[in-house]
């Protein structure tokens, strides 16, 4: 929250209106409160991004049902709570609702079933909601591949470990600033979906048009979902 407050202050110094509001999307009523405060501070809402999420990782036999519930509470029900809170305002402005999905919502890797299930779910929600809200509100699904973020620093219980290393090679990760520019352009153009990164687009294409080849690559190269975040030295 401190970093968001600092960012809001920097935007204000640049002549922009900005406000940072704490919100827990797993808590009933928090999203509605945040929307009301944002509307009061900014006057109207034109774009809302359902971005809160983390990844529960590990093989099925190593996980508990509570791990799956915890994953869905944030990644799926958090999106639903956000949508319920913002859509009345977005209808007034013919705005945009953005759902943060993942390439994992198109192709599930071994060791990532909770995360993949949650992203398949929000992808389905985006597809249905898009028809329900047309033409008043545009719904854009964002499906990133490997992008520089802090997702790998959050463990299966949602605890942040800032020193956790990212197992993905740096050359494969898209800089966050570049990904953000692509997302902004897609939202401005009211696109249905955008897949971020070339490798992400390749995986989605394989999953859609050559699932047999995708399965062969996963088995042949031992592809897996990202590793669970852990304490340094643990």
Catalytic residues, by residue number, are 115
Contacts of residue 161, defined as CB under 8 A and 6 or more positions apart, other chains included, come to: 153, 154, 155, 229, 230, 231, 232
**What's the CA gap between 42 and 78, in Å, rounded?**
23
Write the secondary structure of the chain as one string of H (helix), E (strand) and C (coil). Answer: CHHHHHHHHHHHHCCCCCCCCCCCCCCCCHHHHHHHHHHHHHCCCCEEEECCCCCCCCCHHHCCHHHHHHHHHHHCHHHHHHHHHHHHHHHHHCCEEEEECCHHHCCCCCCCHHHHHHHHHHHHHHHHHHHHHCCCCEEEEEEECCECCCHHHECCCCCECCCCCCCCCHHHCECHHHHHHHHHHHHHCCCCEEEECHHHHHHHHHHHHCHHHHHHHHHHHCCCCCCCCCCCCC
Going by C-alpha positions, the residue among 72, 96, 103 that lies closest to residue 179 is 103
């Amino acid at each position: 929250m401190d970093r968001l407050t600092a960012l809001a202050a920097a935007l204000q110094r640049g002549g922009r209106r900005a406000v940072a509001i704490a919100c827990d999307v797993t808590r009933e009523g928090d999203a509605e409160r945040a929307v009301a405060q944002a509307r009061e501070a900014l006057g109207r809402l034109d774009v809302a991004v359902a971005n809160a999420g983390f990844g529960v990782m590990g093989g099925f036999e190593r996980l508990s049902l509570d791990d799956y519930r915890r994953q869905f509470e944030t990644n799926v029900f958090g999106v639903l709570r956000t949508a319920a809170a913002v859509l009345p305002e977005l209808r007034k402005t013919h705005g945009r609702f953005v759902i943060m999905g993942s390439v994992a919502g198109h192709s599930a890797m071994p060791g990532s079933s909770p995360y993949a299930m949650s992203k398949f779910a929000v992808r389905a929600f985006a597809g249905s909601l898009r028809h329900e809200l047309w033409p008043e509100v545009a719904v854009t699904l964002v499906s990133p591949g490997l992008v520089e973020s802090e997702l790998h620093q959050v463990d299966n219980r949602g605890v942040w470990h800032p020193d956790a290393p990212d197992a993905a090679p740096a050359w494969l990760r898209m800089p966050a600033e570049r990904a953000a520019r692509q997302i902004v352009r897609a939202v401005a153009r009211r696109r249905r979906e955008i897949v971020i990164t070339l490798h992400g687009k390749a995986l989605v294409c394989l999953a859609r048009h050559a699932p047999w080849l995708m399965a062969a690559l996963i088995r042949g190269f031992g592809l897996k979902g990202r590793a669970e975040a852990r304490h340094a030295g643990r």
